[in-house]
Structure 1
Amino acid sequence: MDKSHNLERHLMSRKGEHNYSATVIWTGNSGEGTKHYRAFSRDHEITCGSKPTIKGSSDPAFRGDSSRYNPEELLLSSLSACHMLWYLHLCADSGITVSNYSDHAEGRMIETQNGSGHFEKVLLKPVVNIGTSDDKDLAKSLHDKAHSFCFIANSVNFDVRCEPEIVVG
Protein backbone atom coordinates (compact mmCIF):
# COMPACT_ATOMS: atom_id res chain seq x y z
CA MET A 1 0.00 0.00 0.00
CA ASP A 2 1.52 3.39 -0.94
CA LYS A 3 2.09 6.16 1.56
CA SER A 4 -0.40 8.61 0.01
CA HIS A 5 -3.14 6.01 0.40
CA ASN A 6 -2.22 5.64 4.09
CA LEU A 7 -2.52 9.41 4.56
CA GLU A 8 -5.95 9.48 2.89
CA ARG A 9 -7.17 6.60 5.09
CA HIS A 10 -5.83 8.33 8.19
CA LEU A 11 -7.54 11.61 7.27
CA MET A 12 -10.83 9.92 6.42
CA SER A 13 -10.91 8.23 9.83
CA ARG A 14 -10.50 11.61 11.55
CA LYS A 15 -13.40 13.46 9.99
CA GLY A 16 -15.29 15.45 12.51
CA GLU A 17 -15.92 18.72 14.16
CA HIS A 18 -13.22 20.47 16.16
CA ASN A 19 -14.08 23.35 18.46
CA TYR A 20 -11.70 26.00 19.73
CA SER A 21 -11.98 28.80 22.24
CA ALA A 22 -9.97 31.89 23.02
CA THR A 23 -10.42 34.67 25.54
CA VAL A 24 -9.51 38.23 24.58
CA ILE A 25 -9.45 40.82 27.37
CA TRP A 26 -8.94 44.51 26.72
CA THR A 27 -6.32 45.87 29.13
CA GLY A 28 -6.04 49.36 27.67
CA ASN A 29 -8.43 51.40 29.80
CA SER A 30 -6.30 54.38 30.88
CA GLY A 31 -8.98 55.64 33.24
CA GLU A 32 -11.44 57.25 30.82
CA GLY A 33 -12.45 54.15 28.89
CA THR A 34 -13.23 54.97 25.28
CA LYS A 35 -14.40 58.50 26.01
CA HIS A 36 -12.11 59.78 23.24
CA TYR A 37 -10.34 57.99 20.37
CA ARG A 38 -6.92 58.92 21.78
CA ALA A 39 -7.88 58.27 25.43
CA PHE A 40 -7.36 54.52 25.42
CA SER A 41 -4.69 51.95 24.62
CA ARG A 42 -5.34 49.15 22.15
CA ASP A 43 -3.57 46.68 24.46
CA HIS A 44 -5.22 43.34 25.12
CA GLU A 45 -4.38 39.82 26.22
CA ILE A 46 -5.21 36.59 24.43
CA THR A 47 -5.47 33.32 26.32
CA CYS A 48 -6.41 29.82 25.27
CA GLY A 49 -6.92 27.62 28.28
CA SER A 50 -3.86 27.47 30.51
CA LYS A 51 -1.37 28.33 27.75
CA PRO A 52 0.89 31.39 28.11
CA THR A 53 -0.79 34.72 27.48
CA ILE A 54 -0.20 36.53 24.19
CA LYS A 55 0.11 40.28 24.64
CA GLY A 56 -1.67 41.98 21.76
CA SER A 57 -2.37 45.45 20.49
CA SER A 58 -3.28 47.01 17.18
CA ASP A 59 -0.78 47.84 14.48
CA PRO A 60 1.10 51.08 15.30
CA ALA A 61 -0.62 52.65 12.27
CA PHE A 62 -3.84 52.30 14.29
CA ARG A 63 -2.44 53.63 17.59
CA GLY A 64 -1.10 50.27 18.73
CA ASP A 65 1.96 49.19 20.66
CA SER A 66 4.69 47.92 18.30
CA SER A 67 6.13 45.67 21.03
CA ARG A 68 2.94 43.55 21.05
CA TYR A 69 1.49 41.22 18.43
CA ASN A 70 -1.31 42.63 16.29
CA PRO A 71 -4.17 40.66 14.72
CA GLU A 72 -2.69 41.01 11.23
CA GLU A 73 0.61 39.46 12.36
CA LEU A 74 -1.25 36.67 14.11
CA LEU A 75 -3.26 35.88 10.96
CA LEU A 76 -0.08 35.80 8.88
CA SER A 77 1.62 33.61 11.51
CA SER A 78 -1.36 31.24 11.56
CA LEU A 79 -1.21 30.76 7.79
CA SER A 80 2.53 30.13 7.91
CA ALA A 81 2.37 27.72 10.86
CA CYS A 82 -0.55 25.72 9.46
CA HIS A 83 1.22 25.33 6.10
CA MET A 84 4.43 24.26 7.86
CA LEU A 85 2.68 21.66 10.02
CA TRP A 86 0.94 20.10 7.02
CA TYR A 87 4.18 20.17 5.03
CA LEU A 88 6.16 18.42 7.76
CA HIS A 89 3.40 15.81 8.07
CA LEU A 90 3.42 15.15 4.32
CA CYS A 91 7.23 14.97 4.21
CA ALA A 92 7.28 12.41 7.03
CA ASP A 93 4.65 10.32 5.24
CA SER A 94 6.60 10.56 1.95
CA GLY A 95 9.99 9.63 3.37
CA ILE A 96 11.47 13.14 3.04
CA THR A 97 13.66 14.06 6.03
CA VAL A 98 13.38 17.76 6.85
CA SER A 99 16.17 19.00 9.12
CA ASN A 100 15.27 22.70 9.15
CA TYR A 101 12.28 24.82 8.14
CA SER A 102 11.87 28.58 8.30
CA ASP A 103 9.35 30.85 6.66
CA HIS A 104 9.51 34.61 6.25
CA ALA A 105 5.89 35.19 5.27
CA GLU A 106 4.61 38.51 3.96
CA GLY A 107 1.06 39.82 3.80
CA ARG A 108 -0.59 42.83 2.24
CA MET A 109 -3.64 44.47 3.78
CA ILE A 110 -5.56 47.22 2.00
CA GLU A 111 -7.55 49.90 3.82
CA THR A 112 -10.82 50.83 2.15
CA GLN A 113 -12.53 54.22 1.82
CA ASN A 114 -14.85 53.59 4.77
CA GLY A 115 -11.94 52.83 7.13
CA SER A 116 -12.25 49.04 7.10
CA GLY A 117 -9.76 46.84 5.33
CA HIS A 118 -8.94 43.38 4.10
CA PHE A 119 -5.99 41.23 3.26
CA GLU A 120 -5.30 41.19 -0.45
CA LYS A 121 -2.64 38.49 -0.47
CA VAL A 122 -0.13 36.51 1.55
CA LEU A 123 3.13 35.06 0.30
CA LEU A 124 4.75 32.20 2.20
CA LYS A 125 8.49 31.87 1.55
CA PRO A 126 9.65 28.73 3.32
CA VAL A 127 13.27 27.61 3.19
CA VAL A 128 13.45 23.88 3.79
CA ASN A 129 16.57 21.79 4.37
CA ILE A 130 16.29 18.12 3.37
CA GLY A 131 18.70 15.18 3.36
CA THR A 132 21.04 14.53 0.44
CA SER A 133 19.32 11.29 -0.49
CA ASP A 134 15.85 12.86 -0.49
CA ASP A 135 13.88 13.74 -3.63
CA LYS A 136 14.13 17.52 -4.09
CA ASP A 137 11.31 17.64 -6.68
CA LEU A 138 8.96 15.69 -4.42
CA ALA A 139 9.91 17.89 -1.46
CA LYS A 140 9.01 20.98 -3.48
CA SER A 141 5.74 19.53 -4.81
CA LEU A 142 4.55 18.68 -1.31
CA HIS A 143 4.12 22.41 -0.67
CA ASP A 144 1.20 22.42 -3.14
CA LYS A 145 -0.41 19.52 -1.31
CA ALA A 146 0.22 21.15 2.09
CA HIS A 147 -1.47 24.31 0.82
CA SER A 148 -4.52 22.36 -0.33
CA PHE A 149 -4.85 20.75 3.13
CA CYS A 150 -4.11 23.85 5.24
CA PHE A 151 -7.11 24.57 7.48
CA ILE A 152 -6.34 28.29 7.72
CA ALA A 153 -5.64 28.84 4.00
CA ASN A 154 -8.91 27.06 3.24
CA SER A 155 -10.71 29.50 5.54
CA VAL A 156 -9.60 32.85 4.13
CA ASN A 157 -10.99 34.77 1.16
CA PHE A 158 -7.73 36.13 -0.25
CA ASP A 159 -4.85 34.75 -2.28
CA VAL A 160 -2.25 32.72 -0.36
CA ARG A 161 0.78 31.70 -2.40
CA CYS A 162 3.89 29.72 -1.56
CA GLU A 163 7.36 30.18 -3.05
CA PRO A 164 9.45 27.47 -1.38
CA GLU A 165 13.20 27.08 -1.52
CA ILE A 166 14.50 23.54 -1.03
CA VAL A 167 18.08 23.18 0.20
CA VAL A 168 19.70 19.75 -0.06
CA GLY A 169 22.29 18.67 2.49
Structure 2
Amino acid sequence: MKKYFLLALICLAYGSVYAQPNPDSLAYQNQRKIINDMLAARAAKFSQYDASLSKHTGIFGMQTKKDIRRSNDILMDIVSTDNNILQQTKVLLTLKNNQLDYRTFQQQSIQTKVKETEDNTIGFMTTINKLRNQNEKLKAQVQIAEKSESKMKFWLIILLILFIITSILLIAGKYRTIKA
Protein backbone atom coordinates (compact mmCIF):
# COMPACT_ATOMS: atom_id res chain seq x y z
CA MET A 1 0.00 0.00 0.00
CA LYS A 2 2.88 2.33 0.81
CA LYS A 3 4.41 1.64 -2.59
CA TYR A 4 1.22 2.75 -4.38
CA PHE A 5 0.97 5.85 -2.22
CA LEU A 6 4.59 6.79 -2.93
CA LEU A 7 4.11 6.10 -6.63
CA ALA A 8 1.05 8.37 -6.73
CA LEU A 9 2.92 11.08 -4.82
CA ILE A 10 5.88 10.92 -7.23
CA CYS A 11 3.55 11.07 -10.24
CA LEU A 12 1.83 14.15 -8.82
CA ALA A 13 5.18 15.82 -8.12
CA TYR A 14 6.45 15.22 -11.66
CA GLY A 15 3.10 16.26 -13.10
CA SER A 16 3.24 19.61 -11.33
CA VAL A 17 6.80 20.21 -12.50
CA TYR A 18 5.99 19.58 -16.16
CA ALA A 19 2.52 21.18 -16.11
CA GLN A 20 2.06 23.91 -18.70
CA PRO A 21 0.32 27.07 -17.43
CA ASN A 22 -2.83 28.03 -19.26
CA PRO A 23 -1.93 30.93 -21.60
CA ASP A 24 -5.41 32.38 -21.25
CA SER A 25 -5.07 32.59 -17.49
CA LEU A 26 -1.63 34.24 -17.94
CA ALA A 27 -3.18 36.83 -20.25
CA TYR A 28 -5.97 37.32 -17.72
CA GLN A 29 -3.46 37.82 -14.89
CA ASN A 30 -1.42 40.26 -17.01
CA GLN A 31 -4.56 42.20 -17.87
CA ARG A 32 -5.50 42.39 -14.18
CA LYS A 33 -2.02 43.72 -13.40
CA ILE A 34 -2.38 46.39 -16.11
CA ILE A 35 -5.73 47.50 -14.68
CA ASN A 36 -4.39 47.53 -11.11
CA ASP A 37 -1.42 49.65 -12.23
CA MET A 38 -3.78 52.04 -14.00
CA LEU A 39 -5.95 52.29 -10.88
CA ALA A 40 -2.86 53.09 -8.79
CA ALA A 41 -1.87 55.79 -11.32
CA ARG A 42 -5.41 57.21 -11.16
CA ALA A 43 -5.24 57.37 -7.37
CA ALA A 44 -1.92 59.25 -7.62
CA LYS A 45 -3.42 61.67 -10.19
CA PHE A 46 -6.44 62.23 -7.98
CA SER A 47 -4.19 63.12 -5.06
CA GLN A 48 -2.39 65.59 -7.41
CA TYR A 49 -5.78 67.04 -8.35
CA ASP A 50 -6.74 67.36 -4.69
CA ALA A 51 -3.42 69.10 -4.00
CA SER A 52 -3.89 71.42 -6.98
CA LEU A 53 -7.33 72.45 -5.70
CA SER A 54 -5.83 73.49 -2.41
CA LYS A 55 -3.15 75.66 -4.09
CA HIS A 56 -3.97 79.33 -3.99
CA THR A 57 -1.14 81.32 -5.57
CA GLY A 58 -3.10 84.47 -6.27
CA ILE A 59 -3.34 87.71 -4.33
CA PHE A 60 -5.20 87.46 -1.06
CA GLY A 61 -5.04 83.60 -1.22
CA MET A 62 -7.24 83.31 -4.26
CA GLN A 63 -6.86 80.78 -7.08
CA THR A 64 -5.49 82.06 -10.33
CA LYS A 65 -6.47 81.05 -13.83
CA LYS A 66 -3.22 79.14 -14.00
CA ASP A 67 -4.15 77.13 -10.86
CA ILE A 68 -7.59 76.36 -12.26
CA ARG A 69 -6.13 75.32 -15.64
CA ARG A 70 -3.60 73.08 -13.91
CA SER A 71 -6.44 71.47 -11.91
CA ASN A 72 -8.51 71.06 -15.06
CA ASP A 73 -5.55 69.48 -16.89
CA ILE A 74 -5.10 66.99 -14.07
CA LEU A 75 -8.85 66.31 -14.07
CA MET A 76 -8.81 65.71 -17.84
CA ASP A 77 -5.88 63.32 -17.35
CA ILE A 78 -7.93 61.48 -14.69
CA VAL A 79 -10.88 61.21 -17.12
CA SER A 80 -8.53 59.91 -19.82
CA THR A 81 -7.15 57.34 -17.37
CA ASP A 82 -10.72 56.34 -16.43
CA ASN A 83 -11.54 55.79 -20.10
CA ASN A 84 -8.43 53.62 -20.51
CA ILE A 85 -9.37 51.68 -17.37
CA LEU A 86 -12.83 51.03 -18.82
CA GLN A 87 -11.33 49.84 -22.11
CA GLN A 88 -8.89 47.54 -20.32
CA THR A 89 -11.72 46.27 -18.11
CA LYS A 90 -13.68 45.36 -21.26
CA VAL A 91 -10.62 43.45 -22.48
CA LEU A 92 -10.40 41.74 -19.08
CA LEU A 93 -14.08 40.76 -19.24
CA THR A 94 -13.60 39.47 -22.78
CA LEU A 95 -10.69 37.31 -21.58
CA LYS A 96 -12.77 36.04 -18.68
CA ASN A 97 -15.70 35.26 -21.00
CA ASN A 98 -13.32 33.49 -23.39
CA GLN A 99 -12.00 31.41 -20.50
CA LEU A 100 -15.54 30.57 -19.45
CA ASP A 101 -16.49 29.77 -23.05
CA TYR A 102 -13.40 27.55 -23.39
CA ARG A 103 -14.24 25.76 -20.15
CA THR A 104 -17.82 25.34 -21.31
CA PHE A 105 -16.54 24.00 -24.64
CA GLN A 106 -14.24 21.58 -22.83
CA GLN A 107 -17.05 20.41 -20.57
CA GLN A 108 -19.38 19.97 -23.53
CA SER A 109 -16.75 18.05 -25.50
CA ILE A 110 -16.06 15.82 -22.48
CA GLN A 111 -19.78 15.24 -22.01
CA THR A 112 -20.11 14.46 -25.72
CA LYS A 113 -17.26 11.96 -25.52
CA VAL A 114 -18.78 10.37 -22.41
CA LYS A 115 -22.15 10.11 -24.16
CA GLU A 116 -20.55 8.59 -27.26
CA THR A 117 -18.65 6.10 -25.10
CA GLU A 118 -21.82 5.19 -23.23
CA ASP A 119 -23.71 4.81 -26.51
CA ASN A 120 -20.92 2.63 -27.93
CA THR A 121 -20.87 0.53 -24.77
CA ILE A 122 -24.63 0.09 -24.85
CA GLY A 123 -24.44 -0.77 -28.55
CA PHE A 124 -21.72 -3.35 -27.90
CA MET A 125 -23.70 -4.84 -25.03
CA THR A 126 -26.82 -5.03 -27.21
CA THR A 127 -24.85 -6.69 -30.01
CA ILE A 128 -23.29 -9.15 -27.59
CA ASN A 129 -26.71 -10.04 -26.17
CA LYS A 130 -28.15 -10.52 -29.68
CA LEU A 131 -25.22 -12.75 -30.63
CA ARG A 132 -25.64 -14.77 -27.43
CA ASN A 133 -29.33 -15.27 -28.15
CA GLN A 134 -28.57 -16.31 -31.74
CA ASN A 135 -25.89 -18.70 -30.45
CA GLU A 136 -28.37 -20.28 -28.03
CA LYS A 137 -30.98 -20.62 -30.81
CA LEU A 138 -28.40 -22.22 -33.11
CA LYS A 139 -27.35 -24.64 -30.35
CA ALA A 140 -31.00 -25.57 -29.82
CA GLN A 141 -31.45 -26.10 -33.58
CA VAL A 142 -28.31 -28.25 -33.66
CA GLN A 143 -29.64 -30.38 -30.81
CA ILE A 144 -33.00 -30.76 -32.55
CA ALA A 145 -31.25 -31.68 -35.80
CA GLU A 146 -29.04 -34.21 -33.99
CA LYS A 147 -32.11 -35.78 -32.36
CA SER A 148 -33.97 -35.97 -35.64
CA GLU A 149 -30.84 -37.39 -37.31
CA SER A 150 -30.52 -40.07 -34.64
CA LYS A 151 -34.22 -40.90 -35.00
CA MET A 152 -33.82 -41.08 -38.76
CA LYS A 153 -30.79 -43.38 -38.38
CA PHE A 154 -32.75 -45.55 -35.96
CA TRP A 155 -35.67 -45.90 -38.40
CA LEU A 156 -33.31 -46.49 -41.33
CA ILE A 157 -31.60 -49.28 -39.38
CA ILE A 158 -34.99 -50.77 -38.51
CA LEU A 159 -36.06 -50.57 -42.19
CA LEU A 160 -32.76 -52.11 -43.26
CA ILE A 161 -33.17 -54.93 -40.76
CA LEU A 162 -36.77 -55.45 -41.94
CA PHE A 163 -35.60 -55.41 -45.56
CA ILE A 164 -32.86 -57.92 -44.79
CA ILE A 165 -35.28 -60.16 -42.89
CA THR A 166 -37.86 -59.86 -45.66
CA SER A 167 -35.22 -60.59 -48.28
CA ILE A 168 -34.01 -63.60 -46.31
CA LEU A 169 -37.57 -64.86 -45.93
CA LEU A 170 -38.31 -64.35 -49.64
CA ILE A 171 -35.10 -66.05 -50.65
CA ALA A 172 -35.79 -68.86 -48.20
CA GLY A 173 -39.36 -69.16 -49.54
CA LYS A 174 -38.13 -69.31 -53.13
CA TYR A 175 -35.44 -71.79 -52.13
CA ARG A 176 -38.11 -74.03 -50.57
CA THR A 177 -40.30 -73.72 -53.60
CA ILE A 178 -37.45 -74.65 -55.81
CA LYS A 179 -36.65 -77.64 -53.59
CA ALA A 180 -40.18 -78.77 -53.44
- Choose between structure 1 and 2 for higher RCO, CA contacts under 8 A separated by at least 6 residues: 2
User: What TM-score, normalized to structure 1?
Assistant: 0.24
Name the structure with the higher strand share: 1
Q: Which has the larger radius of gyration?
A: 2
User: What TM-score, normalized to structure 2?
Assistant: 0.23
